[in-house]
Chain A
Amino acid sequence: MLGGILAFLALASFFGLVLGFAAVVFKVESNPVVNQIDALLPQTQCGQCSFAGCRPYAEAIAAGDAQINLCPPGGANLIQSLADLLDLEVLPVGEEEIFQGPIVAIIIEEICIGCTLCIQACPVDAILGAAKQMHTVIESECTGCELCVAPCPVDCIEMLPVKQTLKNWRWPEPQYNVNNKEADTIFTTLDQVLTENVRP
């Protein structure tokens, strides 16, 4: 009786120690789900999802406050991977959320008056310039979020599609032109063969 109690006490204190130790050593600073969702988001920080940036949207998804189809730059691929990650159902891409391919901001330099409003709006510090000096966009850093377009008092910022080069070119998806009529005949014949010879 006493032996049993002692044994259980020993076990309990041992596991307690192990768990306590693990809680300190393997402590997770922030919610790992939020990080995982954030890693999938395109990081344009554009706010088209109505949240203040990608991380707030990730937090909202993790908390169950937001749908997974609110991100236009992510498109259908993002919805698919979010659905896989969170084991949710795939939602259709919202109508206004259809993404037209990557874009980049260009400042028309003759018109720019150097007001710095776009610099303050840029979420990734991709605009270079100073007061009363012409501004320019660092194209490689621009995420195409369009946040700089609205504040510009002289409307000198245009969004252009990213230029195709040999570096970012991709092979097109092959056109799988199944000739349906022929396919049908093949499968009918196969079916017949199976029915006649194999199936009981």
Chain B
Amino acid sequence: MSLSSTLSHLWPFPGGVKLAGHKTLTNHQPITTAHIARQLIIPLSQHIGQPAEPTVNVGDKVLKGQVLGYAHGPVSAPVHASGSGVVTAIEEHLVPHPSGLSALCIFIDTDGYEQWTERSPLLSSQQNISELSSEQIHEQIAKAGIVGLGGALYPSAVKLKTAEKMHTDTLIINAAECEPYITCDDVLMQKRPEEVILGILLIKKVVGAKQCLIGIEDNKTEAYQTLLKTISGYNTPHCDTQIEIVQVPTRYPAGGEKQLIQVLTGKEVPTQGLPMDIGIICHNITTAVAIYNAVYRDEPLISRIVTLTGGAIKQPQNMEVPVGTPIRDILNQAGLDETKIEKIIMGGPMMGFALPSIDIPITKATNCILVSEKGELASPPPAMPCIRCARCSDSCPMSLLPQQMYWYAKARDLEKVQDYNLFDCIECGCCSYSCPSNIPLVQYFRYAKTEIWDDELERNKANIARDRHEFREQRLEKAKAAKAEAARLRKEKLLKKKALDAKKAKDNAKDNTKGNAKDNDEKNQSDKHSSTDLIQEAIARAKAKKAQQQSQKKNTDNLSEAQQKQIDEVNERRRKRS
């Protein structure tokens, strides 16, 4: 009882926009394979969390699938070599990121042999998944460096571990792919349906979900039919896969995690919460295939399907590309019409970002390279004042009030903008898209978010600085007190000694009065004499020492040339600064 449309009805999500799909450019082409790049540039941070820690050195020979960096910290993922060759450098290089900044990458000069490391798959295609324990699958997912390929890039193993703990009963597979132009999930479902279904069954086993829903937009009929057929092949009278595939209306952003959950189940993810809070876990369809590859082929996540599309590409297509391949290489392979290029965007036109250069590597996150021709994705005309038409709030799929948030973000009132639930914004861009005044609303929200995070970081840093400063003050105080205490003790000791001496002298005097008075006088005199002598001697000693010190050589006498030069340099620097 698991096939299509057993769901009695779907729920709508608020807002959203209808967009032109532009998907026919690529969704009927076969998946091509990228040529082996001469040089692979593999970023160590291709996931949310701590970057991986490099395990190889410059000059090392690496095999395809070999670990280049291990997961560092609780939220992290390893990275692997996507081709065999020699590590030529470990240094900073431009990475795909809206900032256009560089990050640490491992450079591999490929040898072209594509030699794999030793692989031992956990399962063969003849074996049943029930032969594996969920721990085994979980371990394999962590080892393979699999991250959420829908765009969040959260390490899948960490997510699954949390899901296990939170007793999730529903697994939702996101195959909506709602952004225009992108078709990599679509062709994956059309061409590799078995891998998709087996991957989903693996996730289902790990999570322990009773129910599994695949949400797919109704503009992908071919993929839908193929999957439907494949699922029925896996269903036997005794063994039901419990996978339902559901077509959802095509409306951007139906592929947003929270929107898809709402459409399929009618449940809303609580504000600033996770789907797991309502017993649901969501995974992307590409992640499922990556998990299939990890378990059935022992292949880590070292390649992915990338949609190459847009008016300036001669042969728009979906290409399987090893991670680390420079974008320039694959664009050349797909035929780039350089005269037509307007913008090069990574991701879709709604949520993607423009690339500063095409000498940037493909990462685990890259689902699409969109090279638009002139007029295809025109830059918006200059922004005009907000006229309070409320089209942004009508189109917001999270039911937020973008115009209010915009006022506060612009005034940098970061508290107020959070009162309007800024952090529930999924940055889908519907508000900017529907704004008749062309106000870059979503950019304001991104700006406000990073501003808030940064303030928080700064506050934490200030707190640490305060603690360290207070600790230092305390330490200095203590040291001062200890010094004072030591001085007091010394003084006390001295006084005691003096008192003792005085007492002794008194006793002596007493004795003497009993004995010979003459002797006593002599002794007293000699005492006096000896004390003046002692003082004289001490003065003489001090004088001698002083004289000796004066005649002694100083460390600035007889300098070598190098030393003199160094001193001159220092003096020069000091003079300049003052």
Among residues of B, the one whose C-beta sits closest to the C-beta of A177 is B382
Top-3 shortest CB links A-B:
A170-B450, A43-B462, A43-B465
Provide a sorted-by-A list of 8 A–B residue pairs whose CB atoms are within 8 angstroms. A53-B469, A123-B469, A141-B464, A155-B574, A166-B99, A171-B443, A171-B451, A183-B384
Known A155-B573, A172-B447; contact A178-B465, beta-carbon cutoff 8 A: no
B570 near A155: Cβ-Cβ < 8 Å? yes
B440 near A168: Cβ-Cβ < 8 Å? no
Known A123-B472, A124-B472, A169-B101; contact A178-B382, beta-carbon cutoff 8 A: yes
Interface residues of B in 83-102 (CB under 8 A from A): 95, 97-99, 101
Residues of A within 8 A of B451 (CB): 170-171
Cβ of B577 within 8 Å of any chain A Cβ, yes or no, is: yes
Among residues of A, the one whose C-beta sits closest to the C-beta of B570 is A154
Residues of A within 8 A of B469 (CB): 43, 45, 53-54, 123-124
Cβ of B466 within 8 Å of any chain A Cβ, yes or no, is: yes
Shortest distance in angstroms between A57's beta carbon and chain B's nearest beta carbon?
13
Interface residues of B in 486-507 (CB under 8 A from A): none
B 436-463 binary contact with A (CB < 8 Å = 1; else 0)? 0001100110110111011001100111
Cβ of B471 within 8 Å of any chain A Cβ, yes or no, is: yes
Residues of A within 8 A of B472 (CB): 123-125
Residues of B within 8 A of A134 (CB): none
Residues of B within 8 A of A77 (CB): 412
Known A166-B103, A177-B382, A183-B384; contact A171-B447, beta-carbon cutoff 8 A: yes
Cβ of A126 within 8 Å of any chain B Cβ, yes or no, is: yes
Among residues of B, the one whose C-beta sits closest to the C-beta of A145 is B465
Cβ of A174 within 8 Å of any chain B Cβ, yes or no, is: yes
Residues of A within 8 A of B95 (CB): 166
Interface residues of A in 7-39 (CB under 8 A from B): 38
Residues of A within 8 A of B233 (CB): none
B 468-482 binary contact with A (CB < 8 Å = 1; else 0)? 110110000000000
B466 near A38: Cβ-Cβ < 8 Å? yes
Interface residues of A in 160-200 (CB under 8 A from B): 164-166, 168-174, 176-179, 182-183, 186-187, 190
Cβ of B385 within 8 Å of any chain A Cβ, yes or no, is: yes
Residues of A within 8 A of B570 (CB): 153-155
Q: How many residues of A contact B (CB 8 A)?
A: 37
Shortest distance in angstroms between B465's beta carbon and chain A's nearest beta carbon?
4
Among residues of A, the one whose C-beta sits closest to the C-beta of B443 is A174
Shortest distance in angstroms between A128's beta carbon and chain B's nearest beta carbon?
13
A170 near B454: Cβ-Cβ < 8 Å? yes
Residues of B within 8 A of A171 (CB): 98, 443, 446-447, 449-451
Cβ of A41 within 8 Å of any chain B Cβ, yes or no, is: yes
B462 near A42: Cβ-Cβ < 8 Å? yes
Query: What is the CA–CA distance of A172 and B461 in the complex, to the nearest angstrom?
Result: 22
Cβ of B374 within 8 Å of any chain A Cβ, yes or no, is: no
Cβ of A143 within 8 Å of any chain B Cβ, yes or no, is: yes
A173 near B447: Cβ-Cβ < 8 Å? yes
Shortest distance in angstroms between B326's beta carbon and chain A's nearest beta carbon?
19
A182 near B465: Cβ-Cβ < 8 Å? no
Besides A43-B463, A124-B465, 8 new A-B residue pairs in contact (Cβ under 8 A), listed by A number: A43-B462, A53-B469, A141-B464, A155-B574, A170-B447, A173-B447, A174-B440, A176-B383
Cβ of B45 within 8 Å of any chain A Cβ, yes or no, is: yes
Shortest distance in angstroms between B233's beta carbon and chain A's nearest beta carbon?
44
Query: What is the CA–CA distance of A104 and B85 in the complex, to the nearest angstrom?
Result: 39
A45 near B446: Cβ-Cβ < 8 Å? no
Cβ of A44 within 8 Å of any chain B Cβ, yes or no, is: yes
Cβ of B410 within 8 Å of any chain A Cβ, yes or no, is: yes
Among residues of A, the one whose C-beta sits closest to the C-beta of B572 is A155
Known A165-B101, A177-B383, A178-B385; contact A155-B577, beta-carbon cutoff 8 A: yes
Residues of A within 8 A of B466 (CB): 38, 43, 54
Residue among B97, B464, B471 with max Cβ neighbours from chain A (10 Å): B464
Residue among B45, B385, B440, B465 with max Cβ neighbours from chain A (10 Å): B465
Query: What is the CA–CA distance of A192 and B471 in the complex, to the nearest angstrom?
Result: 67
A44 near B383: Cβ-Cβ < 8 Å? no
Among residues of B, the one whose C-beta sits closest to the C-beta of A45 is B469
Known A45-B469, A54-B466, A123-B469; contact A178-B383, beta-carbon cutoff 8 A: yes
Query: What is the CA–CA distance of A53 and B466 in the complex, to the nearest angstrom?
Result: 10
Residues of A within 8 A of B449 (CB): 171
A 65-95 binary contact with B (CB < 8 Å = 1; else 0)? 0000000000001000000000000000000
Residues of A within 8 A of B383 (CB): 176-178
B101 near A183: Cβ-Cβ < 8 Å? no
Shortest distance in angstroms between B570's beta carbon and chain A's nearest beta carbon?
5
Residue among A41, A166, A179 with max Cβ neighbours from chain B (10 Å): A166
Contact among B99, B382, B410, B444 for A169, CB-based, below 8 A: B99
Residues of A within 8 A of B410 (CB): 176
